[in-house]
Structure 1
Amino acid sequence: MTPARTQYHSMAHAPRICDDMTVEVALSLMAGAQVDHLVLCDEDDQSTGLVTLARLTVQRNAPTYTDRVRVRDLPKG
């Protein structure tokens, strides 16, 4: 019997970024790393959550968006 392959997403395998990174830089990093999410870290390098490509794309397409918006400034949700 052949074992089934299971795919899962792990925070351990996603690139880690500081939450003061801009949305533009985060999107660029995602494209270069070919990932759909990043692990957010605070100033003490403690993981504080994830940010997804979909969430960053929505923010970038918002009418109020500027290239100075930082990941930590994104609306919660």
Structure 2
Amino acid sequence: MNQKQLVVRHRLRELMVAHDIPSVQELSRRTGIYYATLLNFYHNKFNTFNNRTIATLCEFFDCRIDELIYLDKKELCGA
């Protein structure tokens, strides 16, 4: 029987491309968010979300939260 697990995903790469942001370093410089924080977010190495970080990114990209992060149902085989 297969089970589904909810996984949080992001569209940071797509938003960066759409706004001509060439690197995480440049995004950090323009938003004031720590580079390490953005790098972890970019590489899906996060367990919690900082409200200020999410709000700052949404404001910078002029997007809604669901345009930045979303839930993905991942199929778990053999569970």
TM-score, length basis structure 1: 0.27
* Larger RCO: 1 or 2 (CA < 8 Å, sep 6+): 2
